[in-house]
Every structure is written in C-alpha cells, then in structure tokens.
Structure 1
Amino acid sequence: MSKSSGGDRWLSELGYKLGQTLGEGSYSKVRVATSAKYKGPLAIKVVDRRRAPPDFVHKFLPRELSILRAIRHPNIVRVFEFIEVCNGKLYIVMEAASTDLLQLVQQLGKLPCVPDARDIFVQVVAAVRYLHDRNLVHRDLKCENVLLTADGRRAKLTDFGFGRESRGYPDLSTTYCGSAAYASPEVLLGIPYDPKKYDVWSLGVVLYVMVTGCMPFDDTHIHSMPRRQKKGVFYPDGLGPLPEACKALIALLLQFSPASRPGVGQVAKNTWLKGALLNKDTSRSLNTRID
C-alpha cells in the first residue's frame, strides 16, 4: 500500500472522504474533502514535515498553527481541526471555497470597480484589520490568497504560512517573504520593515489588480522594482474611467515610504469604502470584533 493510500484510509476512518488535489507544493498539498462531521465542502491541507526544510518546521509552521488556532472571523477561512499523525504528516481541515480572487480576475479580465471590487476589498480590509488589531500580520497578501464563495460575494483570507505576531514599528521584521509582485519597496530592498505597513502595501496591489486586471509594477527584474515603485502607480491605456476616490485610495496604500501609508484601521474608515453597497454579512464583518 502506498503512503498516500494509507493516509487516505486513515482519514476515511475519521469520517473524511478525500477528493481531487487543489494545489501541491514540494512538501504540502491541498485536497478537496467531505465529512459527515462538518457541513459544506472542505479542504484538507496535508503537510509532510519529513520533506520540509528545518526553518519551515521549527519557525514558520508553528507560527501558522498558533495563528490559525487563535483567530475567528467571517472573512478568514475557518479551520475546523488539526490532525497529527505519527508518520510526520499534519492534516489541517478547513472550509473550502469555490475559487480565488486571481482566478476571478483572470476569468473576467478585471472586476467592475463598483460594486464588485469595492465589496470584495472591504471584506479583505476587514480581515486584515482584525489581524492587526490582535498584533498579527499576514505578510503574503495576494489575490491567490483571497478565496471566494460560489456567488463571488463573500471573500475569505487564507494561507498564514508567513504570518507572525507583530506590534508594528519599532517591532520590525527582517525575513523576506511573500511574492515579489506584491512586496513593498522596503522588503525588496532588504531593509528591516514594519510588517503591518507591508500588509497595507499589498492591499494596494490587490485593489489595483482587481480594477485593472494587471499588476501595478513589473516584477520581471526584482532589483529595479523599487525604482519603479518610487515613481508611483500608472494605469494602462484604454482602461476606462475609474472613480477618483478609488485611485486616491490605491495611491495612498502604495506610498513608497511606509511611514506615509495609513494603518489598516484608517483604511477601513475610507469614505469610498464606507460607501460600498454592502450586504448584511459584509457590513457586519467590516465592524466585527471577535475575541
């Protein structure tokens, strides 16, 4: 019997039925699953500690698990169960989503600024605000890590592999992490950085991608990205008009100097975002404080 089929049988005994693989890395994979224990579709992240590098096993994974156990918010993917087994594998059982924000943007080309992009962004901001209020940071905010329900209206933040505790300045990080296309100038320059302001920059990139369908800065040559970032953001020809308030918010989030970027609490109070045509769940999530 293969290790994979053995793992499947073991989960089956716990009431889980595994389906197709959604994604796979060098030492982890995510699979669709169902269970009589929990309603709705599930995803199970399988982490193989034996194949993972020591830095991941002893530093990043414990941080991720600690964060996942501590958080609960309508716009953050809910984790139901952690299953440890003696063969070195860890199974993280969580709610599944139909798609992610990147796939939606690729499918549509770009999202209508109002209401679609604004309504989704409000929810992502609510999730990040919840984290920052608890001195937690994500450090890998990107469209792929924003999951969406089948109707595309409920957004849920996922993947806390680079998450950590941080109180913001002067509690600085020195670890380069995340995706270059979403990385702030100070991270790309290798300067000790405020992780909360890094998250705010990444929020700006996410909003830009939603309303334009493209990245604000070309990451082909990472070493020259900070120079382009310092010049500010430009919009593609033929894009069509965007609300000036949306463009102003993007410019504010993508301030080259981290000290000039707002905190996420200020972002949540932005008048353009406050004007979103929110459904009841989204409106509640924007102001939620869950302990």
Structure 2
Amino acid sequence: MDKRVIGIVVTLVSWAIGVIYLLPFLWMIGTSFKPIGEWGLPSLIPESPTLRNYLEVLITGGIYGVRGHFPPIVRYLFNSIVVSLSVAILTSLLGSLTAYGILRYRAGGTFFANWILSLRMIPPVVILYPLVVLTKVLGLYNSLGGLVFVYPVITLPIVTWFMIGAFKSVPRETEEAAMLDGCTPFQVFIMIALPQASIGLATSAIFAFLFSWSEFLIPLLLAPSESAMPLTAFAGYFSNQYGILWGPLSAAAVIISLPVIVVAIGIQKYLVRGLTLGFIR
C-alpha cells in the first residue's frame, strides 16, 4: 500500500480517536451554557445558550430548591491556587535538593533512590487515614497548611526522579570549575546546576501543580470546611440525593479544566523534553 494512503488512514483514525476522547469534554462545555430546562436533553449544542451557570458559579451563587444551593466558587478557587502554587514551589525545591544529593554525593546509595521511587507506587488512598491522624496531631487538619504538608508526600518521589534526570544532563565539569573558583557546594547547586536544569525544574513544578490542582479525594477528607476546601472538592457538592445541578457543575468543571489546558498547550514541547532529560544525551 502506498505510504501516502497509509498516512491518510492513520491521520483519519487518529482524528476519530481524538474526537471520541474529546466528546465528553465538549458535551461538558455545551451543558455549561444550557438553561435548566435543557440539562437533560441529548444535544451537544444548547438551543438557548445562556451564561447564567457561569454567573451563578462565579458571582451570585445559585438556589435550586430541594435540588440544592451553592455559594460562589471564588473562595474555593483561591484556595486551589494558593495550595497548588505552594506545593509546586515546595516540592520542586525539596525534590531538587534530594535529587542533587543522590546524584552528586550518592546520598543513601542506590537503595535510597529506588526506595524514594517505590513510594510513588503506593496508592494515596492507602495512606489517607494515617495522614488524617497526622494532620490532626500537628494541628494542620482542615487547613490550607495541611494540604500543603500532605501533597508533597505524593508528588515528591516522582519529582525527585524528574530532577535526577535533569541533573544528569548538567556537565559535571562546569560544577568542578565553579568549585575551583571558590564556590561552596550550595552555591554550585544554586548558581550552576539548578539554572542548567531549569527545564526539568519547570517540568517538576508543573507536575506538582497539576496534581494539587486536580486532586479530589485527599482534600475531601483533609479539608472539609469552607475555609480550606479547594475547588475540586467543592465541585462534588453540586450533586446530592435530590439530583445533580448539571449546568453549574459543568461550568465549574470548565473553570477547573482551563488552567490544566492552558498549561498543557503552553509547555507541551518543554514537558516532553523535561521528561526525557537524562535518557537522551
């Protein structure tokens, strides 16, 4: 078969698969613009588009009788932003220091490096109860600080391995030259190694941010009050025993998805390069 024909077939199949995967997301977007009378209609495009769902979700809140009511999500959106940015910064810093110590100074040996990675294999749900007890003991339960304390337990192992790969791409000769010029090991790390591993650092920060932004189960148990609840956990309250508020729920889901989509589109080239650092020399 001609290569051109094969290319066309592969392209068409890829587009078909892409449309199938995107259909639920497109349906969600369409539902977010539907008035209450159209929520149950099997149509992708609303007949009478409205911004009411977004206005209620972002500004006024909504009241739907026995089906439920909800306040504006701005407070929960702020909680998500604060927690996600804090976790991204904290995890990147700790992961970089750990990775540099393992790679350059053989801290803990091979066993320690493999043990850190093995921690990522543990399902987060397994350690939820110990984390709840720990945050209560430390006085961090039901607070933003508790989430910032807990999330790195999940993200730090994989971030450490991202940074090990990033530091492998940094020539050791440049670090040795800096030390001959009088730099301390910490100065070498901050001024030489870290800037040259910036792509890996950005990849690590983005991974930690996206995990924190999209996590649902952990904040549902660790931050049940309005003062600490992030947006993903609050979105679950659009559903109750009397029904589901499909319009506001879809609008909130679109808002939750936007940062992820923007980040993914903006850094996809650098993300792929960051994930392969240390493997392609």
Please confirm whether the aligned pair reaches a TM-score higher than 0.5, indicating the same fold. no
Higher relative contact order (CA 8 A, sep 6+): 2
| Between structures 1 and 2, the one with greater helix share | 2
Normalising by structure 1, we get a TM-score of 0.23
